Structure 1
């Protein structure tokens, strides 16, 4: 379907800057457009222009140059508070009217974003299907074909984004609720690291495992939202302080895939073929596939609903279940009520079991840098789900239920279309706080698997991202080069090679006294220097200090100019170190010198 306004965040911001659009005209257009898709049941509460007037009036006092999300329309899953809009969690008896935004909504609004309304969901975020919402809202329908499920529990947020009703949307993801709907609606679905985003103002499902998720048109736009939403919330006891350093993804990375006998597609040959294509596309990006034992991940996934964690769902809803049991759908009440029967013994046994499984699962990271799985085995029609509501829902969590239990970050990326015309997704995941590395890889994979955005005809524009958060670039020119004696000082600190390049044409190189190992000194000379070959490594920030502390005089870290004019931190030599040293500039760099020996 066509849209008259491109809702890509960069496109909207440019239109605002040029004066071609205003936030008011965009809001008016989108509210009219939402009415055209009322049969999808995406909304629980859709704001009016009157409701949104305060947001628009505030934007008149500022500009897109001051606010990173100026005038960007977004949707909010109706278990996340928006001041002035009701919160129901898809249960009328639970309805309340918050006076304060959830912390993550507050951060986005402060950055200029406009919340258009609250979206439909599987009641109390208990489900992965999108059909567990009672009247008057009803099942949320897939954006491509209303006969199919939208995926849940963040169903309306995904569908609203896929239909071009908002630029992005917030969901929650405890068991896959932010990834499954993304896969079924041809979107990016980011489940950040547990605790990365504040959950204050979010209706609990499993409070120790709840995450706010982001639905976006591209990985780059998901990163823009994540960076704004990642504000520290001192009032949230569940938010975690990120590490100061991150391990960057190598240029030639290893990605793990489950053994073939551990893959489940529920008999869907088309889904199996799409996953095989995702593997091939990752290989085309420089990845090397590694088959791993996926059993500990599968075993951990079963703990989420077969173990005591369902008691957290009961804790969150027990007053309502006890006083008004019929206020909940029978299937929702049935799942949650299982949590009333556990014991402390059960809880500790499950914790011990999870600890053992995580120990096994974490060993996989010794073999690979990132993991790739399907997001779901397949997709079902609404009629199929009615016939097997529990079994099919459980199957959809095969590759998602374990993620928060094992403390990984994950992103669902479109992987193409089935013969039915329905999309599916694949999932990339890594250890905690590797969100930016995942987004960078997703930004490269996405254009290889899809040409359009959501259920729209909008052309996908997904510029490649570079994951730099928590890392520092270091230029090396001598014994720290790949394969040379001191390279281990980088690799042992989880540094990775970022680029092989050349300096600007103004450097000379000398063989310094001392050793072993032999070391060069690089010196800037704008009158008689040349361009020298170098490598740039990305070092985790928390490892940079110990690396620099080990550098002996007369060497040190300073700024070096590259051939393209960029300046980076790298090895330089103090002039005193060149006294009595032999010049080797004419040999064309350190490797040239070693070959001449």
Structure 2
């Protein structure tokens, strides 16, 4: 902390500062707005909320406890093709602008969880491009070197996070727009399973393929935002709710890489070297490298712009093109107008081919649990892209364009810097429903090289909940009260050869009560809830029964959910027992409550 302002806006650091009373939402926002006002003009923002409006969000939060809301006081940015009530949505086209009465579904969920919107960010117009240069509001420069592209289409969102102006940002990702900017700005970029985050309130690019994406400084931060945003939306016909359908990757796992003749770095030797190093790090983490045939993925990628899906882009802005074609950025208009010429028979033929390619691509999942690729094979200067916009943009989509056509989940992860000091990133992807598993592996991989966060220069924090496989013949249990380390009943765990695995928090759906005896808390799944601090301990299976036998009513053991989505055994309380109990949820945990009740 410097002058009561956090050195880093990563969510874990900021949340800890709130819980410890080192800062308040109002003081954070006042400091952040002063920082933004002092920044030189850059085409990152299309619209920033007025200071009094942002401060209204902050003042409202000060009536709440940090333990109640999983994103309490966390500032974020919104790509300007996603609606925020009362602010203009332009999709980087002033002639298209409108002012929505209601925020996008995902934005509403984030604000309800305590996040504070700062503004709307620049993008490749109508989310068509991977460069960040196709906007009448200006080309958005890379956070590390202004001569280079920031990547698109979610350029402003990525740079705002990388610069430390917000903690996270929403983008969209139809063809790579949530991953390429992450790679070029040293960020984690989550492209979730299509439909897991609702696209209600998002200006369509290809409505059947669009995803809302998340830019964050760490994989842990992306996971926290994803847990809030990934909610079923009955108003979105594409919405689904299976982002955690697939289990975690095993301690020993297999990862696919394209055959050497299918890897493409466009002459960039630095990128080739950095990708090889990333594959070696994944092997150190327990992965076995398997070469796969990447041809079905590459052919599917070509369908996105060479096939009839470009007609979806035309359909989204047909009225504007008919009314005022010059309002659309020239290269964007050239691409989108291709959609006029595709027939219904062309469309069905392409769907048939896509289904055949999906079946061929499925062979990869019989060989590997996930696939590792570069996020982009190289990076270009802004001047290079402006001189050759279509061909170089196509190069940037080599490893990304197929992802939503094949219904996959992906996360882009920072993986080093080239000899010019520019970031390089890799992508992990796997079948639908692998979102949490990919984020947990990404967290381990991201920590391995000792990288910094975005362009802030701040070191990565230690993961709050470092994943660790459960030992065979053992059982894990979450404790929240007198069994915590240093408290009176902890010996019931240690004398049974218990081992503390981690300190973490529950999912934000529990309340904590001080029971009338004053010695124990009661944890209850209850709405509205909050994240409560717990310790996870591991006991030999043979000792578990004896431990449970010592638990006195009204406490018992049941299924408990952690903030990272893990479910395990844990202490819970019967509902009747909290009728006359003191609600201490706002303290965030039993030890925090005791430190106030019994300072000695």
Question: Scaled by the length of structure 2, what TM-score is found?
Answer: 0.78
Shift of 1:530: 9.0
Taking a change above 3 Å as real, the CA distance of residues 569 and 16 of structure 1, as seen in their structure-2 partners, is farther
Q: How far apart are the structure 1 equivalents of 2:449 and 2:497?
A: 40
1:157 aligns with 2:129: no
- 2:362 equivalent in structure 1: 362
Partner of 1:69: 71
| Residue 121 (structure 2) aligns with | 119
Could you tell me how far 1:565 is from its partner in structure 2? 5.0
| CA distance in structure 2 between the aligned counterparts of 1:111 and 1:245, rounded to whole angstroms | 23
The question of 1:500 aligning with 2:472 is answered yes
Query: How much does 1:245 deviate?
Result: 4.4
Change (3 A) 1:383 1:569: farther
Q: Judge conservation of contact 1:46–1:117 (CA < 8 Å) in 2.
A: yes
Question: Judging changes above 3 Å, is the alpha-carbon distance between structure 1 residues 65 and 568 closer, same or farther for their aligned structure 2 residues?
Answer: farther
1:98 is the counterpart of 2:94: no
Contact 2:409 2:433 in 1 (8 A): yes
Q: CA deviation at 1:451?
A: 2.1
1:280 maps to 2:301: no
| Residue-by-residue CA offset, 1:315-361 (whole Å, 9 max, x unaligned) | 00110011100001100000100001100110011001100101010
Larger-Rg structure: 1
Whole-Å separation in 2 of the counterparts to 1:154 and 1:387: 21
Q: Give the aligned partner of residue 185 of structure 2.
A: 185
Aligned residue in 2 for 1:9: 11
| 1:298 equivalent in structure 2 | 298
Match of 1:314 in 2: 314
Contact 2:192 2:243 in 1 (8 A): no
Residues 444 and 462 in structure 1, CA contact (< 8 A), matched pair in contact too: no
Query: Taking structure 1 as reference, are residues 222 and 564 closer, same or farther at Cα in structure 2, changes over 3 Å only?
Result: closer
Distance 2:197 2:453 in 1: 25
CA distance in 2, matches of 1:90, 1:450: 36
Q: Residue 349 of structure 1 corresponds to which residue in structure 2?
A: 349
Pair 1:107–1:325, CA change in 2 (3 A): same
Q: Cα offset for 1:48? A: 2.0
State how far apart, in whole Å, the 2-side matches of 1:296 and 1:569 are: 49
Root mean square deviation, CA, Å: 2.5
The answer on 1:131 being equivalent to 2:103 is: no
Q: Which moved more, 1:13-22 or 1:199-208?
A: 13-22
The alpha-carbon distance between structure 1 residues 250 and 384, as it changes in their structure 2 partners (threshold 3 A), is same
CA distance in 1, matches of 2:430, 2:72: 32
- Provide the aligned length of Structure 1 versus Structure 2: 490
Separation in structure 2 between the aligned mates of residue 218 and residue 385 of structure 1, nearest angstrom: 29
Which 5+ residue runs of structure 2 have no aligned equivalent?
477-491, 499-535, 547-600
Q: How does 1:262-277 map to 2 (within 5 A)?
A: 262-277=262-277
Q: In structure 1, what is the Cα distance between the partners aligned to 2:411 and 2:368?
A: 17
Q: 1:64 to 1:336 in 2, by over 3 A?
A: same
Q: Deviations over 1:302-323 (max 9, x none)?
A: 0000000000000001100111
- Note the C-alpha offset of 1:466: 6.6
Structure 1 residue 180, shift from structure 2 partner: 0.2
Structure 1: give runs of 5+ residues left out of the alignment.
469-496, 505-525, 533-562, 574-597
Q: 1:78 aligns with which of 67, 77, 80?
A: 80
1:298 alignment partner, SS class: helix
**Structure 1 Cα separation of the partners of residues 327 and 467 of structure 2:** 46
Q: CA deviation at 1:570?
A: 11
Q: Judging changes above 3 Å, is the alpha-carbon distance between structure 1 residues 43 and 252 closer, same or farther for their aligned structure 2 residues?
A: same
| Greater mean alpha carbon deviation, residues 383-392 or residues 22-31 | 22-31
How much does 1:32 deviate? 2.4
Deviations 1:250-295 (A, max 9, x none): 1110000000110110100000000000001001101010001100
TM-score (normalised: structure 1): 0.78
Give the deviation of 1:444 after TM superposition: 0.3
Q: Residues 220-242 of structure 1: CA distance to partner in whole angstroms, max 9, x if unpaired?
A: 11000000111221111110132
SS in 1 for 2:317: helix
1:89 match: 91
8 Å Cα contact 2:46-2:121 kept in structure 1: yes
1:335 aligns with 2:335: yes
The answer as to whether partners of 1:256 and 1:368 remain within 8 angstroms in 2 is: yes
